[in-house]
Structure 1
Amino acid sequence: MPAKNATANAALALILMLAQFPALADGFLKRDGRHIVDESGDRIILRGMGLGGFMLQEGYMLELPEFGTQQIIRSEIEKLIGPEKTREFHAAWLDNHTTKADIDAMKAWGFNSVRLPMHFGLYTLPVDQEPVAGEHTWLEDGFRRTDALLAWAKANDMYLILDLHAAPGGQGNDINISDRDPKKPSFWDDPANQDKAIALWVKLAQRYKDEPNIGGYDLINEPNWGFADKADKNGCAEKANSPLREFLKRATHAIRAVDKRHIVIIEGNCWGNNYAGVFDQGVWDDNLVISFHRYWNYTTPETMVDMLALRDKYDLPLWLGETGENSNDWFARTVALVEAEGIGWAWWPLKKIRYNNPLQIVPNEGYRKLLDYWSGKGKRPSREQAEAALMRLASHDVRFQNNVQHPDVVDALFRAAHTDQTVPFKPHRIGADGGQIRAADFDMGRNRHAYYSLKPANYHVSAGGERVTWNTGLRYRNDGIDIGTDPDGGAFVAGMQAGEWLKYTFSVERAGRYTLLTDAGNDGLSVRINGAAVDPAGFDLHAGTNTLVVKAAKEGVDLRSLRFAPLGPSR
């Protein structure tokens, strides 16, 4: 089959597959046995994106892992520019991180839902700052921003899922994800923190009870707490989970007093995955969804056994409520794994200062100098320099139109998840006088189909051991091929190992005989054209679509360019 027909057939198969599930929102979502359906009764596969870094900054997203929590980040910024300018920075960040342009783009890419990780501090005061103990001061900023996000989602016929990501006091020992201050009582240590969280959910339910584009209420993100054994810091060995169960039940009942229609989403202990004891007293609501989170696991059916058993035992839908932070191959295989079971997903995150998400924030040079200072590699900037760098980051760099888009990530989630076919990363055309392909622009698709890498993804949770970096250059694209950077900023394939290979789909203007030259020379490389092994010194190309596979036969091959030169008519 010609390559162009194969690609067309793959695209048609993908369209038919996606057509099984409505792309447009049709009223309130609800549970129907093990499935999520809309008001017409049609099954819905939620294909969503989590807005990590928007209302809650985590250090790693800003290349500040040593700071971790948002409150430490803000404290360090205050030391440079003062409290008032720090508040201006934070407000600018919230104004610009996620705008209608981001949501419009998500819709165009194929997403039908958005998960909003909420920081409680945008909606209400912390317990220890309330003027009157036990009362709740409501802050308009968080509600206003949620209203705007809902309006953008509605304009795109998408669902917005509300997620309490940073709960009052902090809900786990992984403190970065909830902005927890370990010197203060946690969410679990002080009942007043839980009361405040429930009051917030009631307030949100009152505000949005009649909004069908609100997809559901995700009650508490990734609790990770050892209730019975403090040595079990993240609650992964917990057998009863009684405090978690009681909070989930209490919050659900409080919501139901004002909102009977919206789905309530629950998460287990151990970052959302340990449900031991949660249903020991039965299922307490008829419109619940079980969320689980998945990071750095194998992508085989065996890894789903426990969650599927939970779904079947309690006749409740599953939702992969958060996942990501891996390679494109892992992305595609994870989506394929869960969608085969009718399970939707929400990826994490939309953007950060790194390449393995749909959008990448490229910080200004002043911010880079700030990073050097904070990491001990550079001198302290002046107040004016720090303010200028931070405000440009928050007002310019973070905005959609200034982000780098990564189509390979989007391709992994929506196309490559459902086909082994590959597509060009960029259009490649070989004219009558020949032409050149940049080596880093190999096809998009899964490992063993678009390329072959010995380290295609990070599986350290399943496999044990240290994390694997699938692209040691940490740039350009998110596949399991190492990408280097030339002095002029250009990207190249770096250090290919023996047996690794790259595939390119390209068009040829005129059939004929060609030679292939690489900047690395052809020693140590084997070449296949249209599936057949050839001598790179001379081979035939037909007019139209052709494929090239270049394989490393030795260790440490760097590859920058592939140049085709005409030799004459085909033999």
Structure 2
Amino acid sequence: PNWGFTDLQKDKNGTGEQNNAPLRKLMMEVTAAIREMDKKHIVIIEGNGWGNNYNGVLPPWDNNMVLSFHKYWNFNDDASIKHIIDYRDKYNIPVWLGETGENSNVWFTDAIHLLEKNNIGWAWWPLKKLGNNNPLQVRNNPAYEQVQRYWRNDGPKPDAATAYKGLMELANATNIKANIVHHDVIDAMIRQPSTNQTKAFVANRLNKSLNIDATGYDFGRNGYAYFDTDTANYHVTTGKRTAGNRGNIYRNDGVDIQKAATADSYFVSDIEDGEWLQYTINVSAKGNYNLAVLASAEKDGGKVSVLNGDAMLVKDVTVPATGNTEKWQLLKIGKVYLNKGENKLRILATKGGFNLAQVQLSK
């Protein structure tokens, strides 16, 4: 609750509070009132500092109690939850991660793996909201965007009718039937914590020809379905805010994605040295196929290599400058041999500095 601590000026969230006596007293009184009516249900408590400061709050005062905490923007290592596990072991009290989220799929997968490895249950913040880093996304609308710009001091005050229209459309958009389902987030939370296996983002079947959106790389962990150098926000640990997807749109992995300015489509941007994307393709007949990519680059210097799994097929094809991020050029990579059945085609930036919109294969 972030309440009842000593130094409100220097310690606004109670992270450094050493006493917490008023908070303990309040929670004991609330528990007693609950137990007058209900002796069966679990009582969940949270300390100050977003549920992480239990100095002076424990030991427990009820035999059916759970300790809850929050976890955001820090490393997903044993040290990050050691204090909670220590409380659990010392007082023989169940612990529960009552709130977490607001990060990339990489962070989600690692956090859930860490928690479940240590037999800690979890709840996510939130199921749905504006933005792409949650299982369900609420669609925004132009009228509400005007309200948001006004709140940010980035636009004029909308009239009452516009504000009302925006808020009502936003309320209707919270209906689950109107939400955007982010299957990549769901996969990262449910499947990926227990496996390094990858899955196709869409069913790619190659008969004579196939065009794959660059953003349609496989579901899976960083280093298995793709590789990106900056994958999550760890600013609580590092003191520096970083991003996974710099464009903060379409998917929530480490891969940087932007929306095209002139079309309702997306492309992979800000590709750096050593980064790669994997596409699972089912091929109807083995043989050589022509491979090309739709690429853009403001400057010369980029180089593309192509692998099937770990086997190099084509190495260091130069990506010429197109002069603009969204001035696209079809770059012919050459012929690649693909096996019948499943292939794991990887597009590797041996030298970055370019963008990808599409991968094209043809006989």
- TM-score under structure 1 length normalisation: 0.58
AA of the residue aligned to 1:500: E
Determine the structure 2 residue equivalent to 1:385. Answer: 162
Q: 2:253 is matched with which residue?
A: 479
Equivalence for 1:418:
194
Deviations 1:496-545 (A, max 9, x none): 01111111112112222112100128961111113201125222212221
Residues 474 and 229 of structure 1, relative CA distance in 2, 3 Å threshold: closer
Please, which of 44, 50, 73 is the counterpart of residue 271 of structure 1?
50
**Preserved CA contact (<8 Å) 1:514 1:540:** yes
C-alpha change, 1:296 and 1:225, in structure 2 (3 Å) is farther
Question: Which 5+ residue runs of structure 2 have no aligned equivalent?
Answer: 315-332
Whether the aligned pair in 2 keeps the contact of 1:225 and 1:234 (CA below 8 Å) is no
Find out whether 1:450 has 2:225 as its counterpart: yes
Give the aligned partner of residue 318 of structure 1: 95
Per-residue deviation, residues 366-396 of structure 1 (Å, max 9, x unmatched): 22233233334434333333322222222x2
Cα 1:341–1:377 shift into 2, 3 Å: closer
Q: Distance in 1 between matches of 2:236 and 2:74?
A: 5
Moved more, 367-376 or 302-311: 367-376
Of residues 261, 278, 284, the one that matches 1:503 is 278
Contact 1:224 1:271 in 2 (8 A): no
1:244 maps to 23
Q: Which amino acid aligns with 1:408?
A: D
CA contact (8 A) 1:245 1:278 kept: yes
Distance 2:3 2:282 in 1: 52
Question: Cα distance 1:374–1:267, how it changes in 2: closer, same or farther (>3 A)?
Answer: closer
8 Å Cα contact 1:224-1:236 kept in structure 2: no
Distance in 2 of aligned mates of 1:225 and 1:493: 48
Show CA shifts across 1:288-325 (max 9, x none): 11111100010112222221111100011111110000
Q: Which moved more, 1:227-236 or 1:404-413?
A: 227-236
Pair 1:355-2:129 in alignment: no
Runs of at least 4 residues of structure 1 off by over 6 A?
none
SS of the equivalent of 1:538 reads: strand
CA offset at residue 230 of structure 1? Answer: 4.0
CA contact (8 A) 2:5 2:22 kept: no
> Among residues 285, 305, 311, which one is paired with 1:526 in the alignment?
305
Following the alignment from structure 2 to structure 1, what is the Cα–Cα distance between the partners of residues 222 and 146?
A: 37
Q: CA deviation at 1:455?
A: 0.9
Match of 1:553 among 330, 341, 350: 350
**Residues 478, 495 of structure 1: alpha-carbon distance in 2 compared, 3 angstrom cutoff:** same
Provide the C-alpha distance between the structure 2 equivalents of 1:382 and 1:322, rounded to a whole number of angstroms. 36
SS in 2 for 1:477: coil
Q: State yes or no: 1:290 paired with 2:87.
A: no
Query: What is the distance in 1 between the residues matched to 2:55 and 2:159?
Result: 53
Q: When you count strand as a share of all residues, which structure comes out higher?
A: 2
Separation of aligned partners in 2, 1:247 and 1:502: 53
Check if 1:407 corresponds to 2:183.
yes
Contact 2:70 2:97 (C-alpha < 8 Å) held by counterparts:
yes
Q: Is it true that 1:233 corresponds to 2:12 in the alignment? A: yes
Q: Distance in 1 between matches of 2:134 and 2:35?
A: 36
Give the aligned CA root-mean-square deviation in angstroms: 1.7
2:81 is the alignment partner of 1:304: yes
Distance 2:360 2:4 in 1: 57
Alpha-carbon separation, structure 2, partners of 1:456 and 1:495: 13
Is the partner of 2:85 in helix, strand or coil?
helix
Instruction: Write the distance in 2 (CA, Å) between the matches of 1:503 and 1:259.
Output: 54
Which letter maps to 2:45? I
CA distance in 2: counterparts of 1:286 and 1:408, whole angstroms: 40
Q: Using a 3 Å threshold, how does the CA distance of structure 1 residues 294 and 224 change in structure 2: closer, same or farther?
A: farther
* Alpha carbons 1:225, 1:270 under 8 Å: kept: no
Question: Displacement of 1:225 after TM fit?
Answer: 5.6
Following superposition, the deviation at residue 418 of structure 1 comes to: 0.8
2:37 is aligned with 1:261: no
Q: Secondary structure at the match of 2:124?
A: strand
User: Which amino acid is 1:305 matched to?
Assistant: K
Post-superposition CA distance 1:98-123 (Å, at most 9, x none): xxxxxxxxxxxxxxxxxxxxxxxxxx
Q: Is the 8 A contact 1:506 1:546 kept in 2?
A: yes
Q: Which amino acid aligns with 1:340?
A: K
Whichever residue aligns with residue 544 of structure 1, its letter is: G
- Determine the structure 1 residue equivalent to 2:267: 492
Name the residue aligned to 1:128.
Answer: none
Q: Which residue of the partner structure matches residue 197 of structure 1?
A: none
Q: Is the 8 A contact 1:430 1:436 kept in 2?
A: no
Partner of 2:321: none
Q: How far apart, in 2, do the equivalents of 1:529 and 1:353 lie? A: 37
5+ residue gaps, structure 1: 1-221, 567-571
Matched residue count: 340
Counterpart-to-counterpart distance in 2, 1:369 and 1:231: 36
CA contact (8 A) 2:302 2:352 kept: no
- In 1, Cα distance between the equivalents of 2:233 and 2:182? 19
- Give the conservation status (yes or no) of the 8 Å contact 1:236–1:269: yes
Q: Does residue 375 of the first structure (1) align with residue 152 of the second (2)?
A: yes
Between the aligned partners of 2:151 and 2:96, the Cα distance in structure 1 is 39
C-alpha contact 1:329 1:445 (8 A) present in aligned 2: no
1:341 aligns with 2:138: no
Task: Name the amino acid aligned to 2:159.
Answer: S
Instruction: State the partner residue of 2:318.
Output: none
Deviation string for 1:442-481 (max 9, x for gaps)?
Answer: 111111111111111111111112x212112111010011
Identify the match of residue 239 of structure 2 among 436, 458, 464: 464
Find the aligned partners of 1:557 and 1:464 in 2 and give their Cα distance.
Answer: 29
